[in-house]
């Protein structure tokens, strides 16, 4: 019996020691995780948010389509820069790049944020644009941006605002490709955080360290979304939706697209659109900062932007 008690004490002590939640070493000069580098939308919101850029829109501007673009977990507004560049060139629609709550600032900010905090900046920008009278609002979500938008639909948020004309999801995550995430509740306190490797062009644009608290939030968000999709989610009246999903994706499992297709329906009971993209890139529409981008990758990105633009024009007509 004594032996059993000793073994139990040893195991509990080891677990407590392991659960001390270590913190990473952060290089403030080079890492977004530190206290010197921030997302540019914080200091220059007018360059990223249409609500700040057009505080008093004209009637013509109110009729111009706007895409509120939400980035993924640990990313920044950088993830949608290329769509904004496309829009600046096309001059047929605006892009409002929201910075998710807890993102683009510091490891400590991120660590304390919940998925509802991440979602709050999409909600705020939508409320502002709706209040200013914009009539053609679209949403685009890449990776984790997608379940955040789906949760807005599920919650009935749009009932009190201008209905979105359409939703575009790029490589949405409902199931992680790394299935260890399902065990984050058990392993998280032991690990404290996980680390990712960034290409040189991505430095300062993504958090390198992922606190276990935020991994748990991510798991809560995608698990809730999966369950909601299983029960069924209906789009607001007149809202169009299309999912673009890389067929091979080591971050957001492609089965996420299947779950969204099966779980979403239009207000008239129809299916949403899904296109499986012949790509191995997670968020294939973001090529800037990556190493080894091919002409084919660029073609797929531009084709998708063009299609989004055409769809918005078609809906407007």
Partner 1 sequence: MRKLHSFLIVFLALTTYVSAQIRENYDLKVGLVFQKTESLYWENGVGADFTSDFLLNKQIHLKATYLTSRLGSGIGSNAILQDNFLLGADWRFRSNKDLQIMAGLNAGIFVVDYGNPIFDVLPNSSMLLSVETGLVYRFKFPVTAGLTVGYNLKSGNGVDVPGSLFPVFYRLSVFYNL
List residues near partner 1 by CB under 8 A. 175, 177-180, 182-183, 219, 223, 226, 229-232, 247-259, 261-263, 274-276, 278
CB of 38 to partner 1, least distance (A): 31
Q: Which residues contact 142 (CB under 8 A, 6 or more apart)?
A: 69, 70, 71, 72, 75, 79, 80, 169, 170, 171, 172, 283, 285, 286
Closest CA to 177 of 244, 226, 248, 250: 250
Closest CA to 207 of 116, 106, 119: 106
CB of 63 to partner 1, least distance (A): 34
CB of 178 to partner 1, least distance (A): 8
Q: For residues 55 and 232, which CB has a smaller minimum distance to partner 1 in the complex? A: 232
Q: For residues 40 and 258, which CB has a smaller minimum distance to partner 1 in the complex? A: 258
| C-alpha dist (Å) from residue 122 to 23, 65, 157 | 29, 16, 12
The 3-state DSSP class for residue 141 equals: strand
How far apart are the C-alpha atoms of 104 and 48, rounded to whole Å? 13
Q: For residues 95 and 283, which CB has a smaller minimum distance to partner 1 in the complex? A: 283
Q: For residues 52 and 187, which CB has a smaller minimum distance to partner 1 in the complex? A: 187
Q: For residues 14 and 255, which CB has a smaller minimum distance to partner 1 in the complex? A: 255
CB of 261 to partner 1, least distance (A): 7
Determine the straight-line distance between the first and last CA of the chain, rounded to whole angstroms. 80
Q: For residues 280 and 306, which CB has a smaller minimum distance to partner 1 in the complex? A: 280
Q: For residues 180 and 310, which CB has a smaller minimum distance to partner 1 in the complex? A: 180
Q: For residues 148 and 175, which CB has a smaller minimum distance to partner 1 in the complex? A: 175
CB of 226 to partner 1, least distance (A): 8
The answer to whether 94 and 86 have CB atoms below 8 angstroms apart is no
Q: Kind of pairing, strands 209-211 and 240-246?
A: unpaired
Tokens in use for 266?
């239009």
DSSP sequence for 151-219 = HHHHHTGGGGSPPPSEEEEES--SSBSSGGGGGHHHHHHHH-EEE----GGGTTTS-SEEEHHHHHHHH
The answer to whether 267 and 238 have CB atoms below 8 angstroms apart is yes
CB of 279 to partner 1, least distance (A): 11
CB of 273 to partner 1, least distance (A): 9
CB of 255 to partner 1, least distance (A): 3
| C-alpha dist (Å) from residue 46 to 36, 43, 106, 205, 240 | 21, 9, 22, 19, 28
């Amino acid at each position: 019996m004594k032996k059993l008690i000793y073994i139990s004490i040893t195991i509990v002590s080891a677990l407590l020691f392991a659960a001390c939640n270590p913190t990473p070493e952060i290089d403030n000069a080079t890492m977004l995780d530190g206290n010197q580098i921030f997302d540019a939308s914080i200091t220059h919101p007018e360059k990223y948010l249409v609500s700040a850029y057009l505080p008093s829109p004209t009637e013509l501007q109110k009729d111009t389509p706007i895409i509120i673009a939400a980035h993924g977990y640990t990313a920044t507004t950088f993830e949608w820069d290329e769509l904004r560049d496309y829009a600046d060139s096309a001059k047929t629609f605006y892009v409002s790049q929201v910075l998710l709550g807890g993102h683009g600032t510091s490891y400590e900010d991120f660590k304390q944020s919940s998925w509802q905090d991440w979602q709050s900046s999409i909600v705020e920008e939508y409320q502002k644009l709706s209040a200013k009278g914009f009539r053609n609002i679209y949403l685009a979500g890449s990776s984790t941006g997608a379940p955040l938008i789906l949760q807005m639909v599920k919650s009935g948020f749009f009932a009190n605002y201008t209905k979105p004309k359409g939703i575009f999801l790029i490589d949405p995550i409902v199931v992680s490709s790394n299935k260890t995430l399902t065990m984050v509740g058990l392993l998280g306190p032991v690990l404290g955080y996980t680390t990712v490797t960034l290409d040189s062009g991505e430095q300062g644009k993504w958090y390198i360290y992922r606190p276990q608290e935020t991994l748990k939030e991510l798991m809560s968000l995608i698990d809730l979304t999966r369950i909601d999709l299983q029960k069924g989610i209906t789009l607001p009246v007149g809202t169009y939706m299309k999912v673009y999903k890389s067929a091979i994706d080591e971050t957001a499992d492609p089965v996420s697209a299947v779950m969204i297709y099966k779980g979403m329906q239009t207000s008239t009971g129809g299916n949403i659109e899904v296109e499986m993209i012949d790509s191995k890139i997670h968020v294939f529409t973001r090529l800037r900062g990556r190493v080894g981008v091919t002409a084919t990758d660029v073609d797929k990105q531009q084709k998708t932007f063009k299609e989004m633009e055409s769809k918005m024009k078609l809906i407007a007509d």
